[in-house]
Amino acid sequence: RIDRVISVYTFQKGMDDWRQQIKGSFRVNGGEGEEPASTSDRIMHVISVPWKVLFSILPPTTFFGGWLSFTCSLFGIAGVTACISDLAELFGCVISMPDIVTAVTFVALGTSMPDLFASLSAAQEDPTADASVVN
């Protein structure tokens, strides 16, 4: 029965969470905190608001035990990956670079840099630096 999967209360809570998620994507710092946003916070918000709005349409984990959110997130990641791949290919075409060189330099570097920064931050903040070895 559908009552086992989702109840009216869970559905209403999920819709409220989703509404707050979408509203938060338009506010600087998500509208959290009592301190005013700095200039750098506002600049980063303007730069990242298209991504915030795009990903705020993904459903919250309240629905179907998180499986709907997980499935939609996979499709979102696939879409962003396809866009980045196309943009890298177009950029390589504009500067007359072969596709393999573009893939090795820009795409591989773009996927490795977040791991590098995560490892760097883990190494600096953790006294044993165990988490930095993972990446």
Q: What is the pLDDT of residues 27-55, one digit of tens each?
A: 887 666 667 778 888 898 899 999 888 88
**Residues 58-79: what's their mean pLDDT?**
89
Stated as kind and residue range, the H or E segment containing 26 is helix 8-26
3-state secondary structure of 65: helix
Confidence of residue 133 (pLDDT cuts 50, 70, 90): low
Look at residue 3 in the predicted model and tell me its pLDDT: 58
- Rounded CA-CA distance 129/11 in Å is 42
Q: How confident is the model at residue 16 (pLDDT cuts 50, 70, 90)?
A: very high
